[in-house]
Structure 1
Amino acid sequence: MMEYLAQYSIQLMCRVLGVHRSGFYRWRLQPTSIRSKRRDAITSLVKDTFEEFEAAYGAPRITQELNALGHRCSVNYIAKIMSEQGIVARNGKAFNYGSHTLTMHNVAENLLWRDFSTTGPNQKWVTDITYVWVHKRWLYLATVMDLYSRKIIGWRLDVNMTEQLITQAMKMATAARGVAPGLIIHSDRGSQYRSTNYVNYLERLGVKRSMSRKGNCWDNAVMESFYARLKVELILAKNYQSIAEARSGIFGYIEIFYNRKRRHSANDGLSPVEFEERAAKAA
C-alpha cells in the first residue's frame, strides 16, 4: 500500500483490501515483533500439518509433529492457535463435517509447477477468484486466463463465492475457445475448485486438473498479477458505488482495455488479442 499513498486515500485502499484503518496505522508505525512473527509462522505450520494429516490430528499430535521438526512449542500454545483459527480435529467434540473443514478432498496434482510458458493457445489455462469491494459489500470475480497470450477468456462477477461462480466463468471460456486435447486447467485449492460438481464438470470436458501447493500463491502467479493490476488500475481508481457500476466497469476493463489495448511484456509489448492475431497470421 505504501507506494500508492500519493495516488489514493488510506480509507479507500483499506476498504478495497478489506483491512481496518486502525490496523494499517499500527502496522505502519510499529515494526512486527519477533513474537508476532513467530506466532504467524507457527500458525501457518499448524494449518499445513492439520491438512497433511487430513484433519485427524488435534493439538497434542500437531505439537509433537512440530517439535519433531525443531519448532519448540507447547500443547496449550498450539491449542490456542487452533481455537483462534477454528481448527478442530475429526475426533474433536466441536468438529463439523460440513464444507468449512480443512480437508484434502478432490485435490489435484500440481501439473504446472510454475511453468507458465506455452507454444500455442488452449494448452494451459489458469483460474482463480478475487474480492471486489463495492459500497459496503463484497463482490466476487472469477476469471479464466489462457497463458499463451495472457488473455482473459472467461469471467463471472457475483455476490456469492460459489461453485456456480467458477463454473459459469469456465463455461464462458470453453464456449469461446473450445477444449483442446491435453488442456491443463490450473487453480488453487479453494473449496469451490474442489467441489464435486465442479470437478465432475471438468472431468466431462476431458481436461487435466492441476492445483497449486498448499498456501502457495506463487504457483498461480500470473493470475495473481492480473488481479493486482485490476485493483490498482480500476477498482481503487473508480470507487464503485453500485453493483451495476462495478459490473460495467469490469466488463470494460477486461474485454476492451486489458484484452485489446493493454500491452503485455509476455507478448513482446502486444495486447493479448493483437498477439494472438499476429500469431495466427504467421502460422
Structure 2
Amino acid sequence: MKYAFIQSLSTKHRIIRLCHALDVSVNGYYSWCNRPESKRSIEDRQLTAKIKLFHKASRQIYGSPRIHKDLQEMGERVGVNRVARLMRANDIASKMARKFVITTNSKNTMQPAPDLLKREFDVERPDKAWVSDTTFADRHG
C-alpha cells in the first residue's frame, strides 16, 4: 500500500522524499516496482472484474453471499470471505431497499390544534409567535 501510494505521487514529489516520509527504503520501493505481479493479485483482479459484472447484473442489489453463489454456479472456486473482502476493497456494496412504512393513520387522529394566530403571521416583536408545519401526504387515503 505504501509503495503504491509513493508511485501515485511520484510525478509530483521526489521518490526519496516520499520514501523518507513513509519510513520505507528507496531500494525496497524500486524492488517493488520491478517485481512481477503476484499470482494471487492477478487472480484477485480477475475475480473483482467478475464480481463487478454480477453486481451490475443484479442492479447493485446482491451482497457477497449471493455473488459468491453466482460465482460458484459459474464454476469459480472461491470462498465467501474472499468475495466479501474484494467487494469491501473495491467499494462494491449492495443497495438496501427500504420498505415504505406508514407512521401515521390520519383517519384515526385527533382534531388538529386550534389556530391561535388566526393566520396572522406578522407580529409586532420577535419571539411573540412560533409556527410549524406538520403536513404530510397520506398515500392510502
TM-score (norm 1): 0.24
Flag the structure with higher strand content. 1
